[in-house]
Structure 1
Amino acid sequence: MLNKLWLNISSAPHRSLFLAGALQGIFTLTWWVYDLAGRYALLGSFSVWSIAPTWSHAFLMIYCFFPFFIFGFLFTTYPNWLNGKKISKNVYMTTCLLMVVGVALFYTGLIHGQWLSILGVTAILGGFISAFRALQLVLIQAKGQDRRHAIVTSTALLMGCLGIAAYLLWLLTEAQLLLDFSRHAGIWFFLMPILLAVSHRMIPFFSSRVLDNYVIVRPYWILWIMLACTVAHGLLQLMQLLQYLWLSDFLLALCALYLSIRWGLLRSFQVSLLAVLHIAFAWLSVSMLLFGLQSLVFMQTETETWILGMAPLHALAIGYFASMVLGMASRVTIGHSGRPLVLDRFTWQLFIGFQATTVIRVLPELIPAIGQFAPALYLIAGLIWLTCFTLWAIRYIPIYWRPRIDGKPG
């Protein structure tokens, strides 16, 4: 029985990695909600961790949650994009197991000692390097294929490796510069470029498959502009030049809005499986607009007046990153299990719950009148996200250890 389960889980890259990502999503959200409840004296008691919870939360989300889904997706799509050799079972299972062990050690270290977390980060870095090497090999061997999206994602994965290495060195040295690089690089040099490249390639493609008389609009010049804005934002943050972020952020917001319109945001509601991707992408323009407005305040006041707090970041991380991951993971899971490409009503409702999480999380910082209720609203947002994601995991996890319903391999 166990042997059969293992064979099914390891029969395709997305199975083991999505399974681990689903479980990690539940664990990290449970830990964060527990910490918030204790911190704000709303439930339980304040906990002391070996690593500051803010920086633990950032690392767990950036490098220990999204990457499971990213690697599961890229291990599947790289050979298709580049007409290359499939990623071997040894590679994707090694990546998955190293990251799973690393995450488990990281959590254990938060309670029992930072040295265990250091070992965990080292194992996670090993998983990243394993994945990067395998995907880079497919890219290098590709002949006569359009490699532009793959080059972007491979470069971003390299930055992800550097971000984890910086976090590891921060744990060893406590040098603030290393922590700053790790968190900013993780968002602006790692996650953003990958999500932008995948969105640019896949959203118009998926739209063309289901919408009548659909014309694919996928100019590369706008992708290069968006990537340049993303890198500029990250560099400006690292240099503490927050008053100039609006120069890149407003341009990125404008580009994202243009693509949302041209890709058919409103038309996408005809097909819920497509609409989830378009809605997620729409959050990109909203979040960058908020980042730009925050930057203008810095410029006008010449002080770091965070009138919008963490609202721009959470609009990006929950609205765009998390929603896009949920949409893509759902699509890959449904399609690669032999099921019809249709999003059921239950998953659609869970996706709407994700959107509610984003709104509830950012509202206290956008509307001062309800700012006094911020701790409770933060906790509510976390509970909604945890509930929706747990229900999503319960719905989809069994698919990963069962064979395809059409009898095909994979």
Structure 2
Amino acid sequence: MIEIQEPQSSHSPAWLNLGFRPFFMGAALFAVLSMSIWAAIFPLQILSPLNELAPTVWHAHEMIYGYAVAVIAGFLLAAVKNWTGLQTLRGTLLFLLFFLWLTARLLPLAGLFSEAGLSLQWTAFADLLFMAMLIPAVAVPIIRAKSQRNLVVIAILALLLIGNGLFYLGVFGILADGIRLGLYLGFYIIIALVLMMGRRVIPFFTERGVGYSVTLTNYAWLDKAVPFLMIAFIAAELVAPGNLMTTMVAAVLMGLLGLRLVGWHTKGIWRKPLLWVLHIAYGLVAVGFALNVAAALTGISPFLAVHAFALGGIGLMTLGMMARVSLGHTGRDIFAPPSAVIWMFLLLIGAAVLRVFVPLLVPAYYTLWVGLSQLSWILAFALFTLFYIPMLVTPRADGQPG
């Protein structure tokens, strides 16, 4: 589905030949760096490097608009080329886009090296300009190819830009509730994108990857219902989080996603790490909706649901997709991934268990569970950088361009 026809020639260095290379590399390195800084702030309380943003706000923003958006950018710049047959950014233009993303990530950390730091206005400028440039980079090939099915991708990127804009309006005191609106709009739009792309790729990859003939079950009515319900959930969460409407929609989504996973299951996935990781990640999205319902009905922390979405639906799904896409588009065998991928995935699943489920059972040691979850996240992405960055910065193993 996303086996991309590479350009016939390129004078760019290998890491600028296609968008997944710099953005997957940057996302993985930033995942290690940002979580290490967050761990030093909380729970270790040995560092507070950010002068203008509260550390919790910085952490939330950077996981959404830093890490997750980088993976989305890399994936879409690769996938759109396959969907449309038209070349996406490479070379100098790709470097400029990546540089804007990187600048927006590093500027808030200036307080690590200088008491004065740099104005958050420069960060906002770089961050919003990056997202404003990403939209036409993805939209132009889609529009030129008249790929109507993928117009929704443009709308999703536009909503992410709006969400990030709302966030900065809140930071600068222009919009009273801008920070919350911007963070949650971006967060749930990414979950919606995960559900949409999961529907496209998980059954596709599964049917072709288990090693035997199988036809998975999909329901046309469910494919129509999930996007509609997700829009309703996002609207309800933004307007009145935790209200009856939100709870009812979350409960229905939990059931529908569970039904979808049952239809997608076949025993062969458990022999293929690049398959079971996607199924588990999708399952954790369903768990997130279940915990959202539980938070409304029982009073447990709503942040348990947030972290089920974040660590499963975003963290685990993106790590699994990066591991697969990087193999396929660097000319390697997707059916023979590095043995380390199992440990990467297990560590990130462990991070989700430690952050979401263990605090429910042993809440007295909450700070310890958070710290161990952070460590598991860091180790998972450190393994990715160790095994995958050499692939991302060197020419394709099969000698083909790209």
SS at 1:65 equivalent: helix
Work out the number of aligned pairs and report it: 389
**Which amino acid letter does the alignment assign opposite residue 62 of structure 1?**
I
SS at 1:129 equivalent: helix
Residues 350-406 of structure 1: CA deviation (Å, up to 9, x unaligned): 201110110011134422xx2110011111111111122112211111211111111
Question: Is 1:326 aligned to residue 336 of structure 2?
Answer: no
User: Normalised by the size of structure 1, how large is the TM-score?
Assistant: 0.89
Residue pair 2:330, 2:397 contacting (<8 A) in 1 also = yes
Partner of 1:228: 228
Question: Counterparts of 1:88 and 1:382 in 2: how far apart (Å)?
Answer: 34
Deviation (angstroms), 1:55: 0.7
Q: Return 193-202 or 112-121, whichever deviates more.
A: 112-121
In structure 1, which of residues 86, 95, 98 is the aligned counterpart of residue 97 of structure 2? 95
Residue pair 1:310, 1:365 contacting (<8 A) in 2 also = no
SS at 2:44 equivalent: helix
Going from structure 1 to structure 2, the CA distance change for 1:376 and 1:365 (only over 3 Å counts) comes to closer
Partner of 1:141: 144
Partner of 2:380: 388
Partner of 1:31: 37
Partner of 2:23: 17
Residue pair 1:107, 1:117 contacting (<8 A) in 2 also = no
Residues 71-102 of structure 1: CA deviation (Å, up to 9, x unaligned): 11101111212344444544432221111111
Deviation (angstroms), 1:235: 1.8
Deviation (angstroms), 1:27: 1.2
Partner of 1:165: 165
Going from structure 1 to structure 2, the CA distance change for 1:333 and 1:179 (only over 3 Å counts) comes to same
Going from structure 1 to structure 2, the CA distance change for 1:46 and 1:134 (only over 3 Å counts) comes to closer
Deviation (angstroms), 1:187: 1.1
Question: Counterparts of 1:49 and 1:56 in 2: how far apart (Å)?
Answer: 10
Partner of 1:357: 351
Partner of 2:131: 128
SS at 2:342 equivalent: helix
Partner of 2:68: 66
Residues 321-373 of structure 1: CA deviation (Å, up to 9, x unaligned): 11010000000111111111122321111201110110011134422xx2110
Question: Counterparts of 1:329 and 1:281 in 2: how far apart (Å)?
Answer: 15
Residue pair 1:58, 1:183 contacting (<8 A) in 2 also = yes
Residue pair 1:337, 1:399 contacting (<8 A) in 2 also = yes
Residue pair 1:17, 1:69 contacting (<8 A) in 2 also = yes
Going from structure 1 to structure 2, the CA distance change for 1:10 and 1:48 (only over 3 Å counts) comes to closer
**Which amino acid letter does the alignment assign opposite residue 67 of structure 2?**
F
Partner of 1:399: 391
Deviation (angstroms), 1:218: 4.5
SS at 1:196 equivalent: helix
**Which amino acid letter does the alignment assign opposite residue 31 of structure 2?**
G
Partner of 2:7: none
Going from structure 1 to structure 2, the CA distance change for 1:109 and 1:173 (only over 3 Å counts) comes to farther
Question: Counterparts of 2:400 and 2:121 in 1: how far apart (Å)?
Answer: 42
Question: Is 1:346 aligned to residue 340 of structure 2?
Answer: yes
Residue pair 2:49, 2:111 contacting (<8 A) in 1 also = no
**Which amino acid letter does the alignment assign opposite residue 359 of structure 1?**
V
**Paired residues for 1:242-261 under 5 Å:** 242-244=242-244, 245-261=246-262
SS at 2:265 equivalent: coil
Unmatched tracts of structure 1, length 5 or more: 298-304
Question: Counterparts of 1:35 and 1:104 in 2: how far apart (Å)?
Answer: 17
Residues 105-158 of structure 1: CA deviation (Å, up to 9, x unaligned): 122257645753331122111111111112111222223x5x33x233221111
Identity of aligned residues (%): 23
- Greater relative contact order structure (CA < 8 Å, 6+ sep): 2
Residue pair 1:135, 1:154 contacting (<8 A) in 2 also = yes
Question: Counterparts of 2:224 and 2:122 in 1: how far apart (Å)?
Answer: 37
SS at 1:408 equivalent: coil
Deviation (angstroms), 1:23: 1.4
Residue pair 2:18, 2:88 contacting (<8 A) in 1 also = no
Question: Is 1:271 aligned to residue 256 of structure 2?
Answer: no
Residue pair 2:37, 2:47 contacting (<8 A) in 1 also = no
Deviation (angstroms), 1:228: 2.3
**Paired residues for 1:175-194 under 5 Å:** 175-189=175-189, 191-194=190-193
Question: Counterparts of 2:134 and 2:49 in 1: how far apart (Å)?
Answer: 35
Unmatched tracts of structure 2, length 5 or more: 1-9
When the two chains are superposed, the root-mean-square deviation of aligned CA atoms in Å is 2.2
Question: Counterparts of 1:310 and 1:35 in 2: how far apart (Å)?
Answer: 18
Question: Counterparts of 1:184 and 1:399 in 2: how far apart (Å)?
Answer: 34
In structure 2, which of residues 369, 381, 386 is the aligned counterpart of residue 377 of structure 1? 369
Deviation (angstroms), 1:6: 6.5
SS at 1:237 equivalent: helix
Residue pair 1:163, 1:185 contacting (<8 A) in 2 also = yes
Partner of 2:208: 209
Going from structure 1 to structure 2, the CA distance change for 1:38 and 1:6 (only over 3 Å counts) comes to farther
Going from structure 1 to structure 2, the CA distance change for 1:48 and 1:276 (only over 3 Å counts) comes to closer
Question: Counterparts of 1:32 and 1:361 in 2: how far apart (Å)?
Answer: 14
Question: Counterparts of 1:373 and 1:31 in 2: how far apart (Å)?
Answer: 21
Going from structure 1 to structure 2, the CA distance change for 1:267 and 1:291 (only over 3 Å counts) comes to farther
Going from structure 1 to structure 2, the CA distance change for 1:93 and 1:383 (only over 3 Å counts) comes to same
